[in-house]
């Protein structure tokens, strides 16, 4: 069967199984995404992972998207699923509102979700309930803000409120410059 048709079948099955939670499906260039509410995300993922017919054993990616000012709820967590044995794929998009940026963790389903979810937390400030080790991963642990949010500036205009470790580095560099050898001896 064509990949698109399989993905549509899976989307239909999800709708029947979780009528309350599936908000709709979107199709573009032969790829199907299912938009769901966040509340029962873990059950949905367990269903997709455990059902032998679908067997989504492989979690390709978890990432966040910020739709600030364009869509309500503001955030989406996007899961790219793949079945290595059946060779079919589907995308699940879970909507997460700004005022309550919490979603259940799927580390219990896929071990690989661990760092991917940590990155979402780091970049978007979305917390994953039940995550074993939810810390920042790419940014320093004392960093303020979540860089991939749309209201986070590309270039810093913080001035005095700059990350304090950076200021330390600058000060140290300034201090070290005093010891540099002078050309005139």
CA torsion 150-151-155-161 (nearest 10°) is -140
Nearer to another protein, 14 or 124 (CB): 124
Q: Which residues bind another protein (CB under 8 A)?
A: 26, 28-29, 31, 33, 57-61, 63, 65-66, 70, 78, 80, 84, 87, 89, 91, 110-112, 114-116, 119, 123, 136-140, 147-148, 152, 154
Contact 59, 113 (CB under 8 A): yes
H helix or E strand, kind and range, residue 46: helix 41-50
Nearest to 38 by CA among 90, 121, 106: 106
> Shortest approach of another protein to residue 173 CB, angstroms?
18
Q: Phi and psi at residue 93, in whole multiples of 5°?
A: -115, 115
> Shortest approach of another protein to residue 177 CB, angstroms?
23
> Shortest approach of another protein to residue 182 CB, angstroms?
30
> Shortest approach of another protein to residue 29 CB, angstroms?
6
Nearer to another protein, 36 or 182 (CB): 36
Nearer to another protein, 27 or 39 (CB): 27
Nearer to another protein, 89 or 94 (CB): 89
On the CB side of 18, CA atoms within 13 Å amount to 22
Nearer to another protein, 6 or 123 (CB): 123
On the CB side of 164, CA atoms within 13 Å amount to 3
Query: 17 is written with which tokens?
Result: 């199984």
Query: 152 is written with which tokens?
Result: 């986070």
> Shortest approach of another protein to residue 65 CB, angstroms?
5
Nearer to another protein, 18 or 152 (CB): 152
> Shortest approach of another protein to residue 87 CB, angstroms?
5
Contact 95, 73 (CB under 8 A): yes
């Amino acid at each position: 069967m064509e990949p698109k048709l399989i993905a549509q079948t899976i989307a239909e099955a999800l709708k029947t199984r979780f009528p309350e939670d599936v908000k709709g499906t979107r199709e573009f260039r032969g790829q199907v995404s299912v938009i769901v509410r966040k509340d029962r995300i873990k059950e949905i993922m367990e269903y997709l992972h455990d059902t032998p017919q679908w067997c989504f054993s492989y979690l390709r990616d978890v990432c966040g998207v910020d739709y600030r000012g364009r869509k309500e709820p503001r955030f989406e967590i996007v899961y790219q699923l793949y079945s290595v044995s059946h060779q079919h794929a589907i995308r699940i998009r879970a909507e997460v509102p700004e005022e309550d940026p919490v979603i259940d963790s799927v580390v219990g389903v896929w071990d690989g979700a661990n760092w991917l979810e940590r990155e979402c937390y780091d970049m978007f400030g979305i917390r994953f309930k039940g995550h074993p080790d939810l810390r920042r991963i790419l940014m320093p642990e004392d960093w303020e803000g979540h860089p991939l949010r749309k209201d986070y500036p590309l270039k810093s205009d913080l001035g005095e409120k700059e990350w304090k470790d950076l200021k330390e580095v600058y000060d140290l560099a300034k201090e070290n410059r005093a010891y540099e050898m002078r050309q005139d001896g």
